[in-house]
Chain A
Amino acid sequence: MGKNILEFRHVGKKYGDNVVLKDISFDIEAGKFYTLLGPSGSGKTTILRIIAGFDDATSGDVYFDGQRINDVPANKRQVNTVFQDYALFPHMNVAENVAFGLQIKGVDKKTIQERVHQALHMVRLDGYEEREITAMSGGQRQRVAIARAIVNRPKVLLLDEALSALDHKLRVDMQTELRQLQRQLGITFIFVTHDQEEALAMSDQIMIINDGKIQQTGTPVDIYDEPLNHFVADFIGESNIVPAVMKEDYLVNINGQDFECVDAGMKTNERVEVVLRPEDLDITTPDKGKLVATVDTQLFRGVDYQITAHDLRNHEWKINSIHKTTVGQQVGLTFDPEDIHVMRYNESEADFDARLDSYEEEE
């Protein structure tokens, strides 16, 4: 475990009577790429603004490098922000924008020039020093904003939906570049997005936020494979979420049919939900299938077919398959025990982790 650069302890935020953040606690390890992922209005920007110091937490403590910083003003924090609208200074050219932070700190002219040059090189904008901001494209402006932030060598860089204004191709390019830049600089990045693909592609750690609460924290693989609850399973990737009953350890009953699974540590006959990812469902002949279903729709998406089908109990299934079927045809659906992921109702993240540890150690 690395050192924690930033810690939130029971942070709450209210605007009047409107509770925006509820008891948020997390640790940010130095040098990693974190993503705050959540739907619109979930409180992502509010968390960033509290880290940067633009807004105060209503309750709770924020620690930076072990020091409580609730009362440290924004201009004294070793944190820099890349704003969603870039917030470049319109009356300055590219080099002046990037140099702003260093000038304020009173760094000497020669050093400023060197570091501005270096920062622009890192974001691949060599030679753009004298350009006016208007003469820059959206993607270039964004790089200027990044250069303006990293030139100050902050310990933590905050990026608020930094890529949302870009078109798909540029966005994917910038994702790779940002990730590279982060590794190169060794700075902790906290990246805000509501795009789950972006989060999965870029992060070391993802924090999923909904309704002012952290739902789950983990690596992209953990979160995708072992979502904690209905919200996370639904928000990350595509999924079939089905109510089920846990018969005993490693045996779950879905729609009256028993299936072997790899989850344990729950009460006998506990009501649970089961997640099956569409790409984990395979299509075979009806007699070989664990479930039998009739194909309703089929959509070709380039890499695979997106198929919907309904089973004998009229429950709808989403299947992603590289093999073509025919609409109206009866097919069998198979999956392996490890494709089933069981979720308990209202389980906290701590309880979930403890339960996982308890039965994984037994094996």
Chain B
Amino acid sequence: MKKHSLKWSTIYLAFVFIILYAPIIYLVIYSFSAGKTMESFHGFSFQHYMDLFADTRMITIVINTLLVALLASLLATIIGTLGALAIKDSHGKWRNSLMSLNNVLMVSPDVIIGASFLIFFTVLGVRLGFISVLLSHIAFSIPIVVLMVLPKLNELSPTLVDAAYDLGASRWQTLTRVILPAIGPGIMAGYFMAFTYSLDDFAVTFFVTGNGFSTLSVEIYSRARQGVNLEINALSTLMFIVSLLLVISYYFISQHAGRRHHLVTVKEGDAQ
């Protein structure tokens, strides 16, 4: 009986994965096709990759997108971590309101956030472009970072901070030598999450990009509307490989950090 159900679940899982990955594989295969459309495969070629690397507009946009993602996630990680520390230090009602405000941002639809940023920037007279995209990406990434860091902070034993003071550390030394390293895995996770959210955000970015500036998702959307171009396939394939590498490296980083992080949980268990 058990064996039987196990087999069915394996088949089901395989089926789900095939459905999930089929479009990507389809897309990857046609990126190597010599033809202009995805109707039939016309033999192997790197033509679309050559086109892609010759397309300076596209290359600029890729660089812009990466730049926005790197900067936005970095700043959001710093602000979000400080925010989490502040929430952790606050008490009672104040703390609940801060948490609620954070969660509202997490669950509100991107379209609403995008539209409100557009209104906000127009009212303030901020020119739409790199800055407006960067600011809005930072803004929607902060709650993500807070959400990843706060549980790690709550796991820390309060006596850990007392112990640092007790051994002569100043507040700053306690923060940099004890608290931050101890919540390191949470900060890393927050950074990676913020990075991926920024990288593939479409809805918010669509509202706040001006004429001269675009990101990948917005650009692909506007090109796809004018008919499918296999250069997009080539680009998507490269992005897929990059994300795969990111996921793998994140896995290894968290494996390493997890070994040490594990201690916090064990220690708390002992204290009971």
User: Chain A: residues with CB nearer than 8 A to chain B?
Assistant: 52-54, 73-76, 79-81, 83-91, 100-101, 104-105, 132-134, 138, 141, 148-149, 152, 165
Contacts and interface: CB of A to CB of B under 8 A. Distances in A.
A90 B166 contact: no
B255 to A, nearest CB: 15
B28 interface: no
Instruction: For the complex of A and B, list the 4 residue pairs with the smallest distance between their C-beta atoms, beginning with the closest.
Output: A85-B271, A90-B263, A101-B167, A87-B163
Contacts of A105: 168
A65 to B, nearest CB: 17
Given A75-B169, A90-B261, A133 B163 contact: no
Interface string B114-135: 0000000000000000000000
Contacts of B173: 104
B264 interface: yes
A148 B270 contact: no
A75 B157 contact: no
Interface in B44-102: none
B7 interface: no
A22 to B, nearest CB: 24
A83 B157 CA distance: 11
B184 interface: yes
B263 A52 contact: no
Nearest to A137: B270
A58 B271 CA distance: 29
Contacts of A54: 162, 165-166
Given A74-B166, A89-B164, A100-B169, 19 more contacts: A52-B166, A73-B165, A76-B168, A80-B166, A81-B163, A83-B159, A84-B159, A84-B271, A85-B268, A90-B261, A90-B263, A91-B260, A100-B164, A104-B167, A104-B169, A133-B267, A134-B262, A141-B270, A149-B166
Contacts of B248: none
B178 interface: yes
B151 interface: no
Nearest to A106: B168
25 contacts: A52-B162, A53-B165, A54-B162, A75-B168, A75-B169, A75-B170, A76-B168, A81-B162, A81-B166, A83-B159, A83-B162, A84-B271, A86-B267, A87-B160, A87-B163, A89-B163, A90-B263, A90-B267, A91-B182, A100-B164, A100-B169, A101-B167, A104-B173, A165-B270, A165-B271
Interface residues of B, number: 29
Contacts of B162: 52, 54, 74, 81, 83, 87
B184 A91 contact: yes
Interface in B132-176: 157, 159-160, 162-170, 173
A83 B163 CA distance: 8
B165 A85 contact: no
A43 B88 CA distance: 26
Nearest to A133: B263
Contacts of B164: 89, 100
B20 interface: no
B6 interface: no
A52 B168 CA distance: 11
A52 B164 CA distance: 12
Contacts of B169: 75, 100, 104
A86 B157 CA distance: 10
B271 A90 contact: no
Contacts of A53: 165
A264 to B, nearest CB: 48
B266 interface: yes
A10 B177 CA distance: 37
B181 interface: yes
Interface centre among A86, A87, A89, A90 (most CB of B within 10 A): A90
A8 B182 CA distance: 36
A80 B167 contact: yes
Contact of A88 (B165, B170, B184, B267): B267
A86 to B, nearest CB: 7
Given A84-B271, A91-B182, A148 B266 contact: no
A94 to B, nearest CB: 12
Given A87-B162, A89-B160, A91-B181, A100 B267 contact: no
Contacts of B160: 87, 89
Contacts of B178: 89
Interface in B17-46: none
A89 B180 CA distance: 11
Contacts of A138: 270
B260 A90 contact: yes
Contacts of A84: 159, 271
Contact of A134 (B166, B168, B263, B271): B263
Contact of B166 (A75, A88, A133): A75
A270 to B, nearest CB: 48
Contact of A85 (B167, B263, B270): B270
Interface string B198-239: 000000000000000000000000000000000000000000
Most buried by B among A75, A101, A138: A75
Given A83-B162, A87-B160, A90-B182, A152 B167 contact: yes
